Structure 1
Amino acid sequence: MTPLTSSSKFKGVDILLTSQWPRGVWHYANNPEVNTKLCGSNSIASLADKLKPRYHFAALEGAHYERLPYRNHVVLQENAQHVSRFIALAAVNNPAKKKYLYAFNIIPMKTIDPAELVKQPQDVTENPYRCPTKDKMDTQKTAFSATEEEEPANQYFFDLSKKQGGGSRGHGRKRHSDGDGRGRDQQHHQGQPKQPRRHPQPSGPCWFCLASPQVEKHLVISIGTHCYLALAKGGLTPRHVLILPIGHYQSVVDLSSEVVEEMEKYKSALRKFYKSKGERCVLFERNYRSQHLQLQVVPVPLNRCATEDIKEAFMVQAQEQQMEMMEIPEHTDLKQIAPPGTPYFYVELDSGEKLFYRIQKHFPLQFGREVLASEAVLNIPTRADWKECKQSKEEEEESCKQLRDDFQPYDFTWDE
């Protein structure tokens, strides 16, 4: 393979078929419904990284998984290349009726116009197989330690351990099957230290994991590496948006450092965008009876009310409902106040002031909208419930297109 991939004329392959999944293919993207502790091969990952397939199909895990497309180049450091797509298919006629067929048309890359070939789709992510540089290693470990462990030495066909039985190499030795077509390393469950906690998985269909079939992709405005921006369904105003993590995270306090960093970039971009429209930015999060983080971002006209008025509106309405909302120092990390798993309501004002309420038992689900829709702020009380503000899909598509065009000059993902 080395002579092939080292040639300057080699651009990649159109289709790669493997039995095993590549190890870590889920990095930077949506999590598959498989046990990532035991899933995938580093050898296949290395193969996919070098061959740069436009489509990579695998089926050994018996699960359907379509990963977001990923780049095969480093932005601003290497020439643009085509993207790769990984698709895993379930077993034929499986009882759960998971997808086991994939039909598509593909034009060989050698016949495609080079400029057309390297076009990057809006939902493209970083390459999942590229090793992090030394200065990013600690951050990278934090991001992935909760979702996976070291790859077991035993593979589906061959044992990759240095010693096996009496031999010193052990290569070429078949792995024993446990009856379902997949081998198991019996020692993995015996005498091993306790493994890191796995990254939380959605308990059911998730409307906000970007790769989920339930996501209404026509509402998406911008997609970064770790987060994306979407038009709020039934928004309070035409520019009411959500900042959401691409992967499955329940709340802000669960986020890894690189997701937090990109979320802050979206906040900064939105503040500049709203300011250009004569508006101030109010953010709030309800970590209660929700399984995927939704950071609500609502613009309020500067001439409508001051930041102090918005702050007072939250405090007063909380007090009216016997809720003690507290102000927290501007630079205080929310994780210090609300450990993961703590239900809470959180507000961030454009002044940098932050309001916090630790939810005890019951909490009005529309509280944030009710405050902002009240007479004291936007004075649109009939829009407090998003279900009363629904638009047709065609209207949503038009609203999203307009907002996407307006936001583009402030969208940092275009620069990257």
Structure 2
Amino acid sequence: MAIKMYSNNIPQEPAFSFLKNYVIGATHGFLPAFLPKLSALHSKQQFALAIILGDVFSSPSDSEDESKDEFIQKLLSGEIEIPLPTYFSVGRNELPQQIKDILESREGKDSGGEVCSNLFFLGRKGVLVTSEGVRIVFLGGREASGDEEGENVEGNTTRPWYTAQEASALKGANSADILVTYDWPANVDWNSKIPVPKAAEGGLPGKSRAVRELARRLRPKYHFIVGEEEVFWEREPYRNEVLEKDRERMALGGTGVGVGATRVISLANWGNKGKVKSLYAFNLNVSDRTAVETLPPNTTESPYVGLGNTESRKRPLPDTGTADEFPVEVGANGAFFWGDRGQSRDNQGIEYGRRGKRWRSGGRGHDNQPRPPPGPGSCFFCLSNPTSAKHLLVSIGTDAYLTTAKGPLTTAAINPPGLSFPGHVLVIPLSHSPILAHIDDAQSKKDTYTEMIRYRGALDAMFSSRSCGAVCFEVARPTGVHTHWQVLPLRTSLLPKVEDAFKEAAQKENYGDFVESFGDQLGDVESSYFRVWISGMAEGKWLVLAIKEREYFDLQFGRRVVAGVIGGGAEKRVNWKDCEQSIEEEVEDAKGFKDGFKEFDFTL
């Protein structure tokens, strides 16, 4: 599943084309009455998941209904069953204290969590990719007032409001199958012939420009919003805009533009007196991410064209077909949860899709333009890339994840008998950034580094239990693509040789001298460097080698040095391409690692 407790349930490609999904209007404490209906529907339709909009529970002020507490207790004890994976975020009210208590008692409360079997609180904001491959971006609560924006709310995932900055951070998700927000997007009814019901006047959530810009950037297939009371409204599908990043991708030979259409649906509260529509079932095609979407005949232009600060259509598309014919590019197939700690800028600090002339070199035009680095959609280390090797995934945290390495340097034959799998893994931030210093948000940067260190410590503990130590190294270059750490097991008898081996190799290659660094002293360093950590080093210590600008640095330096320490034929495995494995071998090694790491994996 996608919530943190299930983050290691990495899916394979789905064998089916369409998934049935179910969305329910706010239940406002009437969930017990709705569950029999949900069970009956699920038994016939076999939905992949359900989403409840807005407030699931009664308002905390509704104290006259004593059955509310009884229901929550039965829910938490397992007496009441939820028939299928059901997700919810924040509405206009705080969660009941019993629910907050159970969430806070579990690890990983930053990412929301399991309330009871099959009922998952997503948190207030973030990204969810289910095990079936459905990519959901959610933003709960209403937009904050000025006073609320100034409150200290660090770590509070249940407050029923968000800031415009938090909404903007979610643009880093890049795409969505489903967008769920409490607030309506501003201007959503423009270009529509379907009026918003008059009953909605004064009773709807606010219309937010921040939500509008989020929907505009993510271009979801479905955008669900809260209708409250008795408001059902389904807008005609609107054609999404072609953004600057699409034109850049196509200019570089990309395969298509992620346009397509978005359907906006507002659902009334479940059980409303007027029996206004509060349930919505629909299918999603998640097995073919490049399928051409045929736009419905009633599709309108986007209601958001020409508004806000996002890209407008300044130049015509390359002459490769009509917008209707371009494949729709959607998110990843991996099972992971990502909060709003991502970023929407590239490795030059420029917002994606806003490069324009800043990519030019010396003002000489396209002939001398450097190729922009891959964005998240084509980055091998981004889970939003449909072609990334998700069968290598072994653990996913809140801000970083682990994969086994392609073409591992170490093997079961090289390792001690207690380590029956290669053990060569990568620790990778979820944020797409060439170096940690380029992660825009300071808290996100801190949290990412902290979780990467935590992964490194867990790996060291696992290797230590099997008569090994660990070596961790990183090549950091601002012109790179997606930073990561490589961690390898090493026999404990070889650990004392590693530091000298790196220092001698650096001298031999005229790279300079290693220096000691403690703590995250490189967190704001924007120059290039190589650093290494070895089991047994003092807490926070790294050996750091500055990489000279405009001088060659061997990207295989870390593997080459460790291979020399290992000996015994490891030198032939310095380049991962020389020891590539079959998919079957990679899957087997990933399974072996997951089984061995289970005891030490803090995400479980």
Task: Please tell me the TM-score bracket, short chain as reference.
Answer: 0.5 to 0.7
Indicate the residue corresponding to 2:269 in structure 1.
none
Indicate the residue corresponding to 1:117 in structure 2.
none
1:282 aligns to what SS in structure 2?
strand
Quote the Cα distance in structure 2 between the aligned partners of 1:145 and 1:156.
Answer: 22
Quote the Cα distance in structure 2 between the aligned partners of 1:49 and 1:290.
Answer: 44
1:286 aligns to what SS in structure 2?
strand
Indicate the residue corresponding to 1:404 in structure 2.
594
Unaligned runs of 5+ in 2: 1-24, 42-50, 58-81, 88-101, 107-114, 123-129, 142-150, 173-182, 191-195, 209-232, 242-298, 311-342, 347-351, 353-373, 411-421
Matched, 1:313 2:501: yes
Matched, 1:79 2:199: no
Matched, 1:135 2:154: yes
Indicate the residue corresponding to 1:198 in structure 2.
344
Indicate the residue corresponding to 1:216 in structure 2.
389
Equivalences for residues 4-23 of structure 1 within 5 A: 6-10=30-34
Indicate the residue corresponding to 2:303 in structure 1.
183
Quote the Cα distance in structure 2 between the aligned partners of 1:394 and 1:48.
Answer: 44
Post-superposition offset of 1:220: 1.3
Matched to 1:225, the amino acid is T
Instruction: Select 1:262's aligned residue among 443, 448, 451.
Output: 451
2:308 aligns to what SS in structure 1?
helix
2:398 aligns to what SS in structure 1?
coil
Quote the Cα distance in structure 1 between the aligned partners of 2:31 and 2:484.
Answer: 46
Post-superposition offset of 1:411: 0.8
Aligned-pair identity in percent equals: 27
Indicate the residue corresponding to 1:242 in structure 2.
426
Quote the Cα distance in structure 1 between the aligned partners of 2:117 and 2:136.
Answer: 13
Post-superposition offset of 1:327: 1.5
8 Å contact kept, 1:283–1:298: yes
Instruction: Select 2:464's aligned residue among 275, 293, 301.
Output: 275
Quote the Cα distance in structure 2 between the aligned partners of 1:381 and 1:212.
Answer: 32
Matched to 2:506, the amino acid is A
Matched, 1:294 2:484: yes
Provide, for residues 362-384 of structure 1, a one-character-per-residue CA deviation record: whole Å limited to 9, x for no partner: 21121110111114778721111
Post-superposition offset of 1:322: 1.1
Quote the Cα distance in structure 2 between the aligned partners of 1:347 and 1:295.
Answer: 9
Larger Rg: 2
Matched to 2:597, the amino acid is F
- Give the aligned CA root-mean-square deviation in angstroms: 4.5
- In the superposition, the TM-score normalised over structure 2's length comes to 0.44
Quote the Cα distance in structure 2 between the aligned partners of 1:227 and 1:321.
Answer: 32
Sort the Cα spacing of 1:383 and 1:74 in 2 relative to 1 into closer, same or farther, 3 A: same
- In the superposition, the TM-score normalised over structure 1's length comes to 0.61
8 Å contact kept, 1:227–1:259: yes
Sort the Cα spacing of 1:9 and 1:412 in 2 relative to 1 into closer, same or farther, 3 A: farther
Aligned residue-pair number: 314
Which is richer in strand?
Answer: 2
Equivalences for residues 362-377 of structure 1 within 5 A: 362-375=552-565
Matched to 2:562, the amino acid is L
8 Å contact kept, 2:52–2:86: no
Quote the Cα distance in structure 1 between the aligned partners of 2:543 and 2:167.
Answer: 31
Post-superposition offset of 1:315: 1.2
Provide, for residues 239-276 of structure 1, a one-character-per-residue CA deviation record: whole Å limited to 9, x for no partner: 11111123423223334222222222211111100111
Sort the Cα spacing of 1:276 and 1:393 in 2 relative to 1 into closer, same or farther, 3 A: same
Quick check: 258-267 or 383-392, which moved more? 258-267
Quote the Cα distance in structure 2 between the aligned partners of 1:378 and 1:267.
Answer: 26
Indicate the residue corresponding to 1:95 in structure 2.
none
2:387 aligns to what SS in structure 1?
coil
Quote the Cα distance in structure 1 between the aligned partners of 2:507 and 2:467.
Answer: 30
Sort the Cα spacing of 1:13 and 1:208 in 2 relative to 1 into closer, same or farther, 3 A: farther
Quote the Cα distance in structure 1 between the aligned partners of 2:516 and 2:136.
Answer: 35
2:379 aligns to what SS in structure 1?
coil
Sort the Cα spacing of 1:161 and 1:411 in 2 relative to 1 into closer, same or farther, 3 A: closer
8 Å contact kept, 2:184–2:207: no
8 Å contact kept, 1:366–1:385: yes
Unaligned runs of 5+ in 1: 16-44, 57-72, 86-119, 163-171, 191-196
1:368 aligns to what SS in structure 2?
helix
Indicate the residue corresponding to 2:534 in structure 1.
349
8 Å contact kept, 1:147–1:199: no
Quote the Cα distance in structure 1 between the aligned partners of 2:301 and 2:154.
Answer: 41
Instruction: Select 2:187's aligned residue among 154, 157, 182.
Output: 154
Matched, 1:333 2:521: yes
Quote the Cα distance in structure 2 between the aligned partners of 1:370 and 1:3.
Answer: 59
